[in-house]
Amino acid sequence: MDLQLEGKRVLVTGASKGIGLAVVRAFLAEGATVVATARKSTPELAVTDAVFVPADLSTADGPATLVETVLARDPRLDVLVNNAGGGDERPEGMFADPFSGDDDLWSSVFALNLNAAVRTTRAALPALTQARGAVVNVSSSSARDPHTAPLPYAAAKAALNAFTRGLAEATGGAGVRINAVTPGATRTDLLVGPDGLAASMAANLGVDRSAVVAALPEQLGMVTGDLIDPSEIARAVVLLSSPAMPSAIGSNWAVHGGQLKSA
C-alpha cells in the first residue's frame, strides 16, 4: 500500500525513545522527512536520519518556540505527532493517596500530557492548514480505564481525547485531519523502565520489578499475553497520518491487546 508519505515533512514530539522513537523510524521508512524533538536526544535517535531540535514542551513558550524554529528552517509541515507525555517523578505514598499527588504534580503532568499538545498544535496549525495536513495525538488506555495508571496522568490523557475530538470538528473543514491513537500497556520506559510505573508498583509491593512486568499482561486483561511493542503503535500513527485515509477525522484508534473491555 502506498501511504503517500514520501517527501512529507513530519514533526514528532517526545521522539527520543519508546513510542516516539518508533514513530520517527516508521515515518523515515515511508520516505518522509522527520524533525524529532525531546528535551534531549539519545544515541538511538541520533543514528536515524531525523533532524533533532531540543525543546521542553512542558513550558508555556516551549511549543511555540519549537514550531517557530522548525518552520524557520523549512515552512512546510504536513504532519504533527504529539507524543510528548509521561508522568514525572511520582511521590512516595502515591498508592495511598486517592489524588496520586499534590497540585504541583497535577500541574506538571497536565503541562506535559495536555498543554504541550494544545500549544504545539496551535502554533503549527497555520502551516498544517496550508498543507491540508494531519495531527495525531498519542493518548493512553488509562484515559478510558483510569485505575491502571496514576490519576493525574489518566485524567490528562482523557482531556487529550476530548481536545482531539473537539478540534477535529473545528479543523476538518479546512482540510486538517485530527486523530488520536490510544495504546494499551506498551513496552516503554514509562511503564517498564527502572523509574517507571512497574518499578513503583514493585517497590510498593516489596517484589522485584521483573516480576511485576511479567505479570502485567494478565493483570491488565490483555488477551495477547504480552505487552505491546512500540513499533505497532507507530504503524497506527503513520496510517492515521496518511493522505490515503482522508475520512479518518476525529478517530481514536485503540491498540490495546484486549485490555479495554468496553466497546
> What's the pLDDT tens digit per position in 64-107?
999 999 999 999 999 999 999 987 545 454 566 888 889 999 99
Q: Is the pLDDT of residue 183 over 70?
A: yes
Whole-number average pLDDT of the chain:
92
> What's the pLDDT tens digit per position in 111-150?
999 999 999 999 999 999 999 999 999 999 999 998 878 8
Give catalytic residues, as residue numbers: 153
pLDDT at site 91: 44
pLDDT at site 197: 76
- Rounded distance, CA 54 to CA 137, Å? 19
Q: What percent of the chain has pLDDT over 70?
A: 96
Q: What percent of the chain has pLDDT over 90?
A: 74
- Rounded distance, CA 139 to CA 254, Å? 9
pLDDT at site 212: 82
> What's the pLDDT tens digit per position in 23-43?
999 999 999 999 999 999 999
**Dihedral-angle region of residue 252 (phi above 0 means left; psi in -120 to 50 means alpha; beta otherwise):** beta
pLDDT at site 108: 95
- Give residue 213's pLDDT band: very low, low, confident or very high (50, 70, 90): confident
pLDDT at site 211: 84
3-state secondary structure of 81: strand
CATH topology of domain 9-185+229-255: Rossmann fold (3.40.50)
